[in-house]
A and B are shown apart, each in its own frame.
Chain A
Amino acid sequence: MKVLAAMSGGVDSAVAAARCVDAGHDVTGVHLALSSNPQSFRSGARGCCTLEDSRDARRAADVMGIPFYVWDLAERFREDVVDDFVAEYAAGRTPNPCLRCNEKIKFAAVLDRALALGFDAVCTGHYAQIVNGPDGRELHRAVDPDKDQSYVLGVLDARQLAGAMFPLGDSLKSDVRAEADRRGLSVADKPDSHDICFITNGDTAGFLHDKIGTAPGEVVDESGAVLGSHDGAYAFTVGQRKGLKIGRPAPDGKPRYVLNISPVDNRVTVGPAEALDVDEVTGASPRWCGPEPVGETSCLAQFRAHGTPVPAVAVWDGDALTVRFVEPQRGVAPGQAIVLYDGTRVIGSATIATTSRPVPATTE
């Protein structure tokens, strides 16, 4: 097969590309330039878009003896990922930009271009497994539970999955590092990248402040009583406890948490921990990795990249998706992606549109 290997300059994508070469594929490496104004050198462990990363990727490609190019996707990335990220926060939601990047950039803009240029698949260093099942290709969790990235790939539909290769899904990260070293890839010791690649200093609130500006509003309790003020509702996430700057303690003395962010009246509502309980969410624009699970499906639901999957029942009628948790959950917020699993298999994903609190049980 002719394979296009996306190479970030990190250890994972380099080993993934090398494994493709070993498997006998005709491999071409591509580094995606996602920042229109890249920095020269990496600072700390963040991101993958510096000139140094581009050089690391090129060096790895040279060691493998494969062609290597840089594709400039900065403009598409800005529109589809960064602008979307800012708009979601401005609307009071908590997005995960990695899912958007996989959905719109890596397995859309890049995959489409690769297929048009005559490639058969795009290979990445994601930790996830593709398994041939009775209904076609299935996306499964990686063998390494600490590195599993099936959550951020839950947005891939069957067509995208058909053009994807994840050669690291059956490996442990530590083995991949050792393999990179054995192969003479100088990236073997590079630290893992994490956090949001386009916020290089890790200061999400500062980044959003630069983009959205100051928008003072009120912090209120569930009754609507004003407890304090804020400089921008986007700086808060549901479930947040610290940094609320409320002078007055709660009447019951218990800590208060962000319960709701309302962009319409720019209000942040706070309340007790119990009020964070969510037992049902609705999902917007669901994407299915395989056959659509019509009707009621018992499944596991995960709503954070490294969150614990929890038992749930998904109801999909071809139009609306509802997910009921068997036990109430905390830290669930609109904008987050909810990914549904059948065991290790990814069923699909959706963006959480609304959350519902359990109706309080009547007590004597």
Chain B
Amino acid sequence: MPDLVYLDHAATTPVLPEVVEVVAAQMRAEIGNPSSQHRAGRRARKVVEESREAIAAALGANPSEVVFTSGGTEADNLAVKGLYWARRAADPRRTRVLISAVEHHAVLDAAEWLGKSEGADVELLPVDRNGRLNVDALHDTLARDPESVALVSVMWANNEVGTLQPIRAIVAAAAQQGVPVHADAVQAVGAVPVDFAASGLDTMTISGHKIGGPVGSGALLARRETELVPVLHGGGQERDVRSGTLDAASIAGLAVAVDHVTAGREESAARLASLREDLVDGVRRAVPDAVVNGTDDPAQRLPNIAHVSFPGCEGDSLLLLLDAQDIQCSTGSACAAGVPEPSHVLLAMGADPLLARGSLRFSLGHTSTASDVDALVAALGPAVERAKAAGYVNASKDGK
């Protein structure tokens, strides 16, 4: 079987060899629950706390600000729901939840649930055609009855088109009104400089498996003065904010991954940015009418994601044709049934819905090479021709 051409690192990226080693070593190590008082517990606790310190140091946080979770989705849920409940408990007027229109579903759906079940008024903050938040609009939205805002949530870097958000400006706007800000930084860590303290954020989500750590590992960084109502109740671990036995092996792996990607960030980002440039050039050569989504400004986007729309094509036709040649990429979104829907991110950016359906995300990572890019560029032209001939599968007869 030929090697896979893996261009879907934003979905998940290969676990780093040093992570495999440390996780395996911890799994083989002596037994111990980090919450136990005895020696076995102390041994495990040492692993957890050293990991906590390493992660905090790498991301500009205090160790006590690291709350381990089962991953990005749980951390986002804890931030959005936890902040909302705590802020509303302190002042019942605070029911507005302001989130960007391009949030990951872990934030979007958590906020929508608060709207449906907890009396929240969810407001989507608009983005420009590059997917970047309109800070003036945020100012206006906040100024309209600031006492009623529970929280603001804007992701650091978008997972579909890779656009970076003006986190400093967002935090400054919210701080004027005393409103806490959460950011999902899952795609940002290891790709761009991330400093929790300097950002001024109240909470921030990180995930292990997007950076070569174990799936099922992650953390919410939460400032010490930030109050969160727990989502999970139980043994009172993690400042009583996130109960559940800590997974020392997985946490050790997460720490190694965070350390690795932040230490090597500059070199890796430069390499991936150059590879992405080759990829985008090649895609444009192969398919001249392809539309690259998001901003051209390298300072305002992730170095490793290229999101491209192919006019006249159904994204899942392209996915099928490329997959048949062992080239792995993503249409950027998928629901439980696997039915592709036009991306909410592209729609929020004002993209034509039909064009949005013909989009693919190519995301590079630590194992990506020039030959991956070459293989994609070689396969793409014929695949797009075929997909165009196949047309839009579910287009209604009046062409909608």
Chain A residues at the B interface, C-beta cutoff of 8 Å: 28, 31, 33, 38, 51, 54, 58, 67, 69-76, 79, 109, 112-113, 116-118
Chain A residues with CB under 8 Å of B336's CB are 51
Contact residues of B: prevailing secondary structure? loop
Nearest opposing residue in chain B for A30, CB measure: B320
Q: Give the bracket for the number of chain B residues in contact with chain A.
A: 20 to 34
Asked if A117 and B320 make an inter-chain contact with CB atoms under 8 angstroms apart, the answer reads yes
Instruction: Give A2 Cβ to nearest chain B Cβ, in Å.
Output: 9
What chain B residues lie within 8 Å of A67 (beta carbons)?
320, 323-324
Residues of A within 8 A of B386 (CB): 116-118
Residue from the list A28, A70, A117 in contact with B339, Cβ < 8 A? A70
Contact present for A70 and B337 (CB under 8 Å): yes
Residue contact B337 to A33, C-beta cutoff 8 Å: yes
A8 CB to nearest B CB, Å? 13
Contacts of B51-110 to chain A: CB distance below 8 A: none
- Of B36-44, B184-192, B241-249, B391-399, the one touching chain A: B391-399
Q: State whether A116 and B390 are in contact (beta carbons under 8 Å apart), knowing that A69-B319, A79-B396 are contacts in the complex.
A: yes
The 3 closest A-B pairs by CB, nearest first: A116-B390, A70-B338, A116-B389
The distance from the CB of A150 to the nearest CB of chain B, in whole angstroms, is: 27
Q: How far is the CA of A73 from the CA of B397 in the complex (A)?
A: 12
User: In the assembly, what is the distance between CA of A324 and CA of B220, in Å?
Assistant: 77
Q: What's the least CB distance linking B379 to chain A, in Å?
A: 13
Contact with A along B331-374 (1 / 0, CB 8 A): 00000111110000000000000000000000000000000000
Can you report 11 residue pairs joining A to B where beta carbons are below 8 Å apart?
A: A33-B337, A38-B337, A51-B337, A54-B337, A58-B338, A75-B395, A79-B396, A112-B390, A113-B317, A116-B389, A117-B386
Alpha-carbon distance A79/B394, docked complex (angstroms): 10
Selected contact of B396 from candidates A69, A71, A76, A118, CB within 8 Å: A76
Query: Is B202 in the interface zone, CB < 8 Å from A?
Result: no
Q: A79-B397, A116-B389, A116-B390 are in contact. Are A69 and B320 (CB under 8 A)?
A: yes
B 372-391 binary contact with A (CB < 8 Å = 1; else 0)? 00000000000000110111
Q: Please determine whether A113 and B324 come into contact, CB atoms closer than 8 angstroms.
A: no
Report yes or no: A72 in contact with B339, Cβ–Cβ below 8 A. Answer: yes
Which residues of chain A are near B321, meaning CB under 8 Å? 117-118
B316 at interface, CB cutoff 8 A: yes
Report B-chain residues with C-beta under 8 Å of the C-beta of A71.
316, 393-394
Q: Is the CB of A75 within 8 A of B337?
A: no
Contact of A113 with B396 in the complex, beta carbons under 8 Å: no
* Interfacial chain A residues near B393, Cβ < 8 Å: 71-73, 76, 109, 113
A54-B337, A67-B320, A117-B317 given; A72·B390 CB < 8 A: no
Chain B residues closer than 8 Å to A69, beta-carbon distance: 316, 319-320, 338
Within B297-340, the residues touching A (CB, 8 Å) are 316-317, 319-321, 323-324, 336-340
